[in-house]
């Protein structure tokens, strides 16, 4: 798939998809969307970039190994479930707080961090499988 | 509605079982994917079908006002889809690697772990 | 969900607003701890030389956590924690009774042994691939399956342990491993999908997935529910997971291909999770009905089928073991044969029989893991050969290893005074009382055939010196400490249970009592006012 058009378009397409995936992730806080679907979109972005420019640039762009990203996500989700021990409520209970940012009240919850964890798990796991498959095709 | 869904589920099951009876990994793989979808539909049907009434509690209410769709099967199906998807991805890579290493996707010819010319153990000391 | 700042809505009908005791956190601690350690190990997996410095203490902590949980359950009875403050049956409940707690504890002990043995058995490429992280994720799945009280959640933990087991199975990507893993993966996928189908029907019938809630609803029903169909599906799915005849063929096809430590862990834990699930589901669906029946006539059609499957599994498993030359494949057949013995207890279903099954499961976890480790060490002494005609003169090379292996062989065959004797005694006694003549007969026949199979291995590979003139000089071989510690530790437990079985007897009978009469289990979920 090394056509000039695709190769030129792929970086823009991939960055747009990643941006959109973060939008979907944050939108999932109160509306349809969320970590899983956002993670899938981001993983497809990496896959497209990999098809266009080869796997090595993607691995460089991700900086961390995909499996480490997935592990960090799982760790984050588990910890956001565990923090409820300090509030005296059962495992995985949502805890809510709010911060003021630029005069705007923003609600932050442990659920949000759980969802970001899910996002990272999906990005890492799916990207590592997709990259593994793309690498083999070229051998 | 449920009866028609039962027919669809049955058809999907028979297709997937037919595919899984094959000796070739790739067909078994497609059969497994269809099986996953059949089960998802089955869960969905088992939760009773309701059309176009999302189970959303309005801003000024504290309980559901009307008879709405059952949200639990949707959650179960979502979980099952995620699991089936990751399984499928893994099995795809595994089947491909096995094909590369063993040179065949016919399960009858995959005899590295259980060799055909297996000896019987000695009968005396 | 409303925030706590706007709590004008009355939440008491939906949520449990009472604070949770810190001790209750022990229920989720085994799972959460394993996931935490597993993810941290996955993130530092490039640093392979330090993995075991994290893994061994972490697994030690896991043993302590599950031990504390077991003590807590024995003292206070079954305990429940419902995720996210929702009232049962709406939230996902983790409900632990003695059965789940004792299995989780023994699983952690065995896993600790495997973690130590893995120090030398898994090289740095296997570690970079993520051996220890997959190991901990597998333990998270196993502990979750033992501790959960929700049937869909049980399915999820099955999948977690399955995915982790795939990773462990293909750790070296050798030809044989890929071959074995392909069969293992596809057949286990079918089994878990069958489990999901059964769960879907269960949900369609009861509208709930909480096991305690289902047991309650069955007790209140008029007896017209299609329980046998659902139970049949569940049993088919779980005997596939547990590798019972006629769906056992994936186990001997795959268990001898991965590294020894992986085989040891799989043989100890994975099939027992299947047996645990059968015990749990069977008693959930039938316990309150069975109570009314006489103990001698309660073999219904489904239990009769399970009894037949059990007999065929144990006898054909030991016959299969007789026909093998590869020691690890032979052990795979012995795992299958043990599953048959456990299923017999499930089929009979009396308190004594279920107690025998629980005891046998505990014994089998310990002994099978120890045996795989011992076989791996013997193979390593003979240059990696696993064929019983090629392993020679272990007795001359290392008397301690030969002696330990002989004890383990006696234990797996069910000879006194080792741990295998007592559960077999319980099961033979229960099957004489509550099943046709062929049930006790096949248990005894299995013991006889197993003795022949393992006796031949010991005579040929351990006792007989290497042939004169071969390169093998029967020289003394020392064993590494990290190899010896787990094996000796497990053997001490096996012999200890054989000599002083009283504590395990009590635990097994208490867990069987809770299975037969799940009132305490249900009360721990819903509070005492629900069950009259």
Give which of C57, C42, C256 is closest to C167, Cα–Cα: C42
- Asked if A91 and C25 come within 8 Å (Cβ–Cβ), the reply is yes
Q: H helices within C382-437, ranges in order?
A: 394-397, 399-413, 421-434
Please compute the mean of the pLDDT values over residues B22-50 and round it to a whole number: 91
Average pLDDT of span B60-73:
78
8 A C-beta contact, residue C329 and residue C256: yes
Which of C15, C43, C80 is the best substitution to test chain A (most A C-beta atoms within 10 A)? C43
Residues C455 and C402: beta-carbon distance below 8 Å: no
Q: Is the confidence at residue C5, as pLDDT, over 70?
A: no
pLDDT of residue A107: 79
pLDDT computed for residue A137 by the predictor? 55
Q: Report pLDDT for C311.
A: 93
Whole-number pLDDT of residue B113: 80
Q: What percent of chain A has pLDDT over 90?
A: 39
What is the reported pLDDT for C473? 65
Confidence of residue C292 (pLDDT cuts 50, 70, 90): very low
Average pLDDT, chain B: 86
Contact yes or no for C189 and B87 at CB 8 A: yes
User: How much is the average pLDDT of B42-70?
Assistant: 79
Between C12 and C154, the higher pLDDT residue: C154
A126/B contact by beta carbon, under 8 A: yes
Question: Given an 8 Å threshold on Cβ–Cβ distance, is B93 in contact with A132?
Answer: yes
pLDDT computed for residue C4 by the predictor: 43
Q: What is the pLDDT of residue B80?
A: 92
Across the strands, what pairs with C93?
Answer: C82
- Residue A14 burial by CB count (10 A; 0-12/13-18/19+): exposed, middle or buried? buried
pLDDT (average), residues C63-92: 89
Please compute, for residue C31, the number of CA atoms within 13 A of its CA located in the half-sphere on the CB side.
27
C-alpha–C-alpha distance, residues C50 and A124, integer Å: 24
CATH number at residue B89: 1.10.287
| Residue A85, pLDDT score | 83
C222 has a pLDDT exceeding 80: no
Touching subunits of B (3+ CB pairs, under 8 Å) are: A, C
Residue-wise pLDDT tens digits, A98-123: 878 777 777 788 888 999 999 999 99
Nearest to C193 among B36, B47, B112 (CB): B36
Single pTM value for the model:
0.92
Check residue C83 and give its pLDDT.
85
Residue C155: closest C-alpha in chain B? B80
pLDDT 10s digits, C101-151: 999 999 999 999 999 998 888 888 888 888 899 999 999 999 999 999 899
Q: Is the CB of residue B20 less than 8 Å away from at least one CB of chain C?
A: yes
Question: Which residue in A has a C-alpha nearest to residue C43's C-alpha?
Answer: A68
- In this prediction, residue C355 carries a pLDDT of 93
pLDDT, residue C469, reads: 64
Provide, as residue numbers in chain A, all residues whose Cβ is less than 8 Å from the Cβ of C136: none
Number of domains chain B is built from: 1
For the cut 90, the answer to whether the pLDDT of residue C274 exceeds it is yes
- A-C contacts (CB, under 8 Å): 64
The band of C295, judged by pLDDT with boundaries at 50, 70 and 90, is: very low
Question: For C508-523, how does the pLDDT look when each residue is reduced to its tens digit (9 = 90+)?
Answer: 999 998 888 888 888 8
Report the SS3 class of residue C393: coil
pLDDT of residue A28: 84
pLDDT band of B49, cuts 50, 70, 90:
confident
Q: What is the pLDDT of residues C185-210, one digit of tens each?
A: 999 999 999 999 999 999 999 888 99
Please tell me the least confidently modeled range out of C301-310, C379-388, C505-514. Answer: C379-388
pLDDT of residue B124: 75
Within a domain: B59: no
Q: Is the CB of A36 less than 8 angstroms away from the CB of B86?
A: no
Partner-chain contact C190 B20, CB within 8 Å: yes
Best probe of the B interface among A39, A129, A130, by most B CBs < 10 A, is A129
Q: Is the pLDDT of residue C9 over 70?
A: no
Segment B60-81 shows an average pLDDT of: 82
- If one compares C23 and C493, the residue with the highest pLDDT of the two is C493
Which residue is listed with tokens 């669809």?
B8
Interface test with chain A among B82, B89, B91, B98, by most A beta carbons within 10 Å:
B89
In chain C, whose CA is at the least distance from the CA of A110?
A: C84
pLDDT at C296 over 50: no
What pLDDT, on a 0 to 100 scale, did the predictor assign at position C145? Answer: 95
Cα–Cα distance measured from residue A112 to residue A94, given in angstroms and rounded to the nearest whole number: 9
Does residue A20 belong to the interface with chain B, where contact is any CB pair within 8 Å? no
- Dihedral sign computed on CA atoms, order B41, B44, B47, B49: negative
ipTM associated with this complex: 0.93
Per residue in C125-135, pLDDT tens? 888 888 899 99
Domain that holds residue B83: 2-51+71-109
Q: What is the reported pLDDT for A1?
A: 63
Taking the domains of chain A in order of start, what are their residue ranges? 4-137
- Using 50, 70 and 90 to split pLDDT, how confident is the model at C287? low
Residue A98 bridge partners (DSSP): A107
Structure tokens given for C70: 């077991």
Q: Is A75 close to C133, i.e. CB distance below 8 A?
A: no
The string of DSSP letters for C124-178 reads: HHHHHTTHHHHHHHHHHHHHHHHHB-BHHHHHHHHHHHHHHHHHHHTSS--HHHH
- Give the mean pLDDT of C64-89: 89
Q: Which of residues 37-66 of C touch A (CB under 8 A)?
A: 38-40, 42-43, 45
- Chain A: closest CA distance from residue C108 (Å): 20
At C530, the pLDDT band (50, 70, 90 cuts) reads: low
Query: How confident is the model over C479-488, as pLDDT tens digits?
Result: 888 888 999 9
Q: Which chains touch A (3 or more CB pairs under 8 A)?
A: B, C
Which range, of B80-84, C16-20, C433-437, averages the lowest pLDDT?
C16-20
Query: Among the listed ranges B12-16, C17-21, C272-276, C503-507, which one has the minimum average pLDDT value?
Result: C17-21
Residue A55 pLDDT more than 90? no
What are phi and psi for residue A92, nearest 5 degrees?
Answer: 70, 15
Indicate the pLDDT class of residue C294, thresholds 50, 70 and 90. Answer: very low
Neighbour-count burial of C476, counting CB atoms closer than 10 A to its CB (0-12 exposed, 13-18 middle, 19+ buried):
exposed
Does B13 fall in a domain? yes
- Judge whether residue B92 has pLDDT over 70: yes
Mean pLDDT rounded to a whole number for chain C = 87
Lowest average pLDDT, out of C11-15, C173-177, C238-242, goes to C11-15
pLDDT greater at residue C220 or residue C354: C354
Torsion of CA C83, C87, C89, C93, to 10 degrees: 30
Q: Is pLDDT above 70 for C184?
A: yes
DSSP, collapsed to helix, strand or coil, labels residue B24 as strand
């Amino acid at each position: 798939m090394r056509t000039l058009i695709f190769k030129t378009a792929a970086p823009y397409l991939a960055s747009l998809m990643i941006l959109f995936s973060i939008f979907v992730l944050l939108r999932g806080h109160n509306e349809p969307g969320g970590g899983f679907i956002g993670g899938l979109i981001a993983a497809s972005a990496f896959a497209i970039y990999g098809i266009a420019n080869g796997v090595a640039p993607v691995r460089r762009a991700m900086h961390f190994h995909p499996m480490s990203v997935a592990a960090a996500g799982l760790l984050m989700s588990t910890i956001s479930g565990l923090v409820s021990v300090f509030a005296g409520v059962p495992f995985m209970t949502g805890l809510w707080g709010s911060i003021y940012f630029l005069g705007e009240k923003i609600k932050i919850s442990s659920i949000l961090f759980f969802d970001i964890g899910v996002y990272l798990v999906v990005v890492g796991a799916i990207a590592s499988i997709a990259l593994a498959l793309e690498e083999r095709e070229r051998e | 509605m449920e009866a028609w869904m039962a027919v669809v589920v049955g058809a999907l099951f028979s297709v997937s079982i037919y595919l899984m009876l094959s000796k070739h990994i790739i067909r078994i793989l497609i059969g497994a994917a269809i099986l996953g979808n059949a089960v998802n539909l089955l869960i969905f049907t088992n939760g009773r079908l309701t059309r176009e009434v999302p189970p959303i509690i309005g801003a000024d209410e504290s309980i559901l006002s009307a008879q709405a769709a059952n949200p639990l099967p949707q959650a179960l199906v979502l979980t099952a889809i995620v699991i089936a998807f990751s399984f499928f991805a893994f099995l795809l890579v595994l089947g491909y690697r096995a094909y590369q290493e063993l040179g065949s996707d016919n399960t009858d010819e995959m005899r590295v772990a259980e060799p055909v010319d297996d000896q019987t153990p000695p009968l005396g000391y | 969900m409303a925030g706590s700042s706007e709590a004008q809505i009355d939440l008491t009908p939906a949520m449990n607003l009472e604070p949770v005791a810190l001790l209750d956190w022990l229920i989720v601690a085994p799972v959460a701890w394993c996931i935490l350690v597993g993810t941290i190990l996955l993130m530092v997996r490039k640093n392979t030389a330090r993995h075991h410095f994290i893994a061994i203490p972490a697994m030690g902590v896991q043993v302590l956590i599950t031990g504390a949980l077991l003590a807590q359950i024995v003292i206070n009875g079954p305990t429940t924690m419902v995720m996210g403050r929702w009232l049962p049956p709406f939230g996902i409940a983790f409900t632990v009774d003695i059965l789940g707690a004792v299995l989780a504890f023994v699983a952690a002990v065995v896993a600790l042994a495997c973690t130590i043995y893995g120090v030398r058995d898994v090289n740095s490429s296997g570690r970079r691939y993520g051996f220890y992280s997959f190991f901990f994720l597998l333990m998270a799945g196993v502990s979750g399956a033992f501790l959960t009280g929700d049937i869909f959640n049980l399915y999820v933990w099955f999948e977690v342990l399955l995915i982790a087991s795939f990773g462990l199975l293909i750790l070296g990507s050798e030809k044989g491993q890929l071959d074995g893993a392909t069969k293992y993966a596809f057949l286990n996928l079918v089994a878990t999908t069958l489990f999901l189908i059964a769960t879907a029907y269960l949900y369609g019938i009861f509208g709930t997935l909480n096991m305690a809630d289902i047991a309650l609803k069955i007790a209140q029903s008029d007896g017209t529910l299609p329980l046998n169909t659902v139970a049949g599906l569940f049993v088919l799915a779980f005997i596939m997971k547990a590798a019972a005849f006629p769906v056992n063929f994936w186990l001997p096809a795959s268990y001898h291909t991965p590294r020894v430590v992986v085989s040891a862990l799989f043989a100890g834990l994975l099939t027992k999770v299947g047996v645990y699930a059968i015990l749990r589901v069977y008693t959930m669906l039938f316990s309150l009905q069975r109570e009314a029946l006489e103990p001698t006539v309660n073999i219904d059609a489904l239990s009769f089928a399970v009894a037949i499957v059990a007999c065929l599994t144990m006898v054909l498993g030991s016959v299969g073991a007789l026909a093998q030359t590869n020691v690890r494949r032979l052990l795979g057949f012995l795992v299958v044969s043990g599953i048959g013995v456990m299923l017999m207890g499930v089929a009979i279903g009396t308190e004594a029989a279920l107690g025998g099954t629980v005891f046998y499961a505990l014994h089998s976890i310990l002994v099978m893991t120890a045996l795989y480790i011992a076989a791996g060490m013997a193979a390593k002494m003979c240059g990696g050969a696993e064929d019983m005609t090629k392993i020679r003169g272990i007795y001359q090379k290392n008397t301690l290893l030969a002696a330990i292996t002989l004890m383990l062989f006696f234990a797996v065959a069910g000879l006194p005074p080792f741990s295998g004797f007592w559960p077999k005694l319980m099961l033979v006694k229960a099957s004489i009382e509550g099943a046709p003549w062929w049930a006790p007969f096949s248990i005894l026949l299995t013991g006889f055939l197993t003795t022949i199979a393992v006796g031949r291995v010991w005579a040929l590979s351990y006792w007989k010196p290497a042939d004169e003139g071969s390169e093998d000089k029967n020289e003394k071989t020392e064993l590494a400490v990290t190899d010896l510690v787990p094996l000796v530790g497990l053997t001490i437990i096996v012999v200890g249970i054989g000599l002083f079985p009283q504590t395990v007897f009590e635990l097994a009978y208490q867990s069987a009592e809770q299975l037969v009469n799940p009132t305490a289990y249900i009360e721990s979920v819903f509070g005492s006012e629900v069950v009259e």
